[in-house]
């Protein structure tokens, strides 16, 4: 009898925690397997279809033979030009489409790859906690050491920059920030961005701002980091069409900003991927050139859902901050639960699935995140179910 061959995982994989949303998907499938009428408010995957104009543009573009070959690594110039025009119109920021825009296979890909371009083993990466899990994972893949910046309610879910020792700043290569914020839904003021730039200039730190949610807002338009004076000297900004245009499955995003930093990220990408399918880029151009009518309708849908969930949970005595942006609601769990036990309780007893706050980092313990990615009637039903089991 032959001995069984054992393939040993690399240590960088062995020491990774389970990817949060893969674990959530397992919980979801298990609940469905039990026959539970599941209301899934866990993952930020919009249930609203991609705008028909974008879909129709894709149908035409996919038939063009020139798109059936390898795409350009940095992205079609016409796509990068559309990004630059969008930044000029939306944020009044001038972006050079030739050197200051890079196409991405979704912003997640760029966020995961940027540490490989700049972080050496032992270098520090500043990461928000709670925050998108890819920030620390990308740093670990590059051999970096994460320093977590807690986001607390008493500081409006902004990191306390004064609490970070100078010796940490001196070892730091990258800093990740994300506003409007996932999972807390917080929005950052210009003064905060200015302070980030001051610190980055002093300590030679590359700032990576994840701006994926700037277009999902309700009360006031959020800023781009690029609007802050000096931003392009120290930073790049990641953006995605996924949330804005309900295109999560299309996998297209972009980064803008400092051309040297983008060139470094581009070197990683040319060795690891072959760019974004050009038919998708053509459809994305149509999305970026669309007026506000479609986006206003999308925001109105999310606002209706937000109000149903927030007003309902508030009446039940739950502690939350009504979001000014994003389609997430960050809720304090009742005192007798921790994050995971409350998620399990709500799933088992009410058939409603949220995401445990501690899955986004240690500072998220004690919270649950609900995503507004189900129809208004289902969100109303979720509130009614939760009211019975609290």
Task: Quote the pLDDT of residue 208.
Answer: 98
Task: Quote the pLDDT of residue 39.
Answer: 97
Percent of the chain with pLDDT over 70: 100
First to last CA, the chain: 57
The per-residue pLDDT for range 192-207, each reduced to its tens digit, is: 999 999 999 999 999 9
Q: Judge whether 174 and 205 are in contact, CB under 8 Å.
A: yes
Q: Supply the mean pLDDT for the chain.
A: 96
Average pLDDT of 250-255?
A: 98
Q: Identify the three-state secondary structure at position 68.
A: helix
* pLDDT confidence tier of residue 264, bands split at 50, 70 and 90: very high
pLDDT at 214 over 90: yes
Task: Quote the pLDDT of residue 227.
Answer: 98
Average pLDDT of 306-320?
A: 98
Average pLDDT of 10-36?
A: 83
371 DSSP assignment: E
More confident residue, 182 or 21: 182
Average pLDDT of 205-213?
A: 98
Average pLDDT of 118-126?
A: 97
Task: Quote the pLDDT of residue 25.
Answer: 83
The distance from CA 63 to its chain's CA centroid, rounded to whole angstroms, is 32
Average pLDDT of 154-162?
A: 98
Ramachandran area for residue 251 (φ above 0: left; ψ -120 to 50: alpha; else beta): left
Pairing outcome for strands 145-150 and 124-129? parallel
Distance CA 342, CA 333 (A): 7
CB contact set of 244 (below 8 Å; sequence gap of 6+): 215, 216, 287, 295
Q: How would you class 168 by CB atoms within 10 Å of its CB: exposed for 0-12, middle for 13-18, buried for 19 or more?
A: middle
Distance CA 23, CA 21 (A): 5
Residue appearing with tokens 């009504």 = 322
Pick from 234, 242, 239: nearest CA to 256: 239
The per-residue pLDDT for range 98-119, each reduced to its tens digit, is: 999 999 999 999 999 999 999 9
Task: Quote the pLDDT of residue 21.
Answer: 74
Continuous H helices in 179-254: 190-203, 231-234, 241-244
Pick from 38, 103, 62, 147: nearest CA to 382: 38
217 DSSP assignment: B
Task: Quote the pLDDT of residue 22.
Answer: 80
Average pLDDT of 213-235?
A: 97
353: which strand partners? 40
* pLDDT confidence tier of residue 23, bands split at 50, 70 and 90: confident
What does the block give as tokens for 175? 């800093």
**Domains observed in the chain:** 11-49+293-389 (3.90.1150.10), 53-288 (3.40.640.10)
Task: Quote the pLDDT of residue 15.
Answer: 77
Task: Quote the pLDDT of residue 24.
Answer: 83
Pick from 74, 128, 119: nearest CA to 256: 74
Task: Quote the pLDDT of residue 11.
Answer: 86
* pLDDT confidence tier of residue 1, bands split at 50, 70 and 90: low
Task: Quote the pLDDT of residue 156.
Answer: 97
Q: On the CB side of 206, how many CA atoms lie within 13 Å of its CA?
A: 23
Task: Quote the pLDDT of residue 271.
Answer: 96
Pick from 221, 167, 160, 165: nearest CA to 196: 160
Distance CA 145, CA 312 (A): 41
The per-residue pLDDT for range 50-87, each reduced to its tens digit, is: 999 999 999 999 999 999 999 999 999 999 999 999 99
More confident residue, 346 or 18: 346
């Amino acid at each position: 009898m032959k001995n069984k061959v054992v393939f040993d995982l690399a240590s960088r994989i062995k020491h990774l925690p389970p990817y949060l949303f893969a674990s959530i998907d397992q919980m979801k499938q298990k609940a469905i397997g039990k026959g539970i009428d599941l209301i899934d408010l866990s993952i930020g995957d919009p249930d609203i279809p991609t705008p028909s104009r974008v879909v129709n543009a894709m149908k035409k573009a996919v038939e063009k033979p020139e798109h059936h070959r390898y795409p350009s690594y940095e992205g079609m110039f016409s796509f990068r030009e559309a990004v630059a025009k969008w930044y000029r119109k939306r944020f009044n920021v001038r972006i050079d489409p030739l050197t200051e825009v890079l196409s991405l296979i979704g912003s997640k890909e760029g966020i995961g790859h940027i540490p490989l371009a700049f972080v050496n083993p032992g270098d520090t990466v500043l990461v928000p906690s709670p925050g998108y899990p890819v920030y620390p994972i990308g740093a670990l893949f590059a051999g970096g050491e994460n320093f977590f910046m807690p986001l607390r309610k008493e500081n409006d879910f902004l990191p306390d920059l004064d609490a970070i020792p100078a010796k940490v700043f001196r070892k730091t290569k990258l800093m990740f920030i994300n506003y409007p914020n996932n999972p807390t839904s917080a929005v950052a003021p210009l003064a905060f961005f200015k302070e980030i730039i001051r610190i980055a200039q002093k300590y030679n730190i590359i700032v990576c701002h994840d701006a994926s949610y700037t277009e999902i807002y309700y009360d006031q338009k959020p800023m781009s980091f690029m609007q802050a004076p000096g931003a392009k000297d120290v930073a790049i900004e990641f953006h995605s069409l996924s949330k804005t245009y309900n295109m999560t499955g299309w996998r297209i995003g972009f980064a803008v900003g400092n051309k040297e930093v983008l060139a470094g990220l581009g070197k990683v990408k040319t060795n690891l991927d072959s760019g974004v399918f050009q038919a998708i880029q053509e459809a994305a151009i149509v999305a970026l050139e669309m007026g506000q009518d479609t986006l206003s309708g999308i925001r109105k849908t999310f606002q209706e859902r937000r109000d149903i969930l927030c007003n309902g949970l508030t009446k039940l005595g739950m502690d939350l901050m009504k979001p000014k942006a994003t389609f997430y609601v960050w809720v304090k769990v009742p005192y007798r639960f921790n994050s995971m036990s409350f998620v399990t309780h709500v799933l088992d007893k009410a058939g409603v699935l949220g995401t445990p706050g501690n899955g986004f980092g240690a500072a998220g313990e004690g919270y649950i995140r609900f995503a507004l990615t189900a129809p208004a009637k289902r969100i109303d039903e979720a509130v009614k179910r939760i009211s019975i089991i609290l």
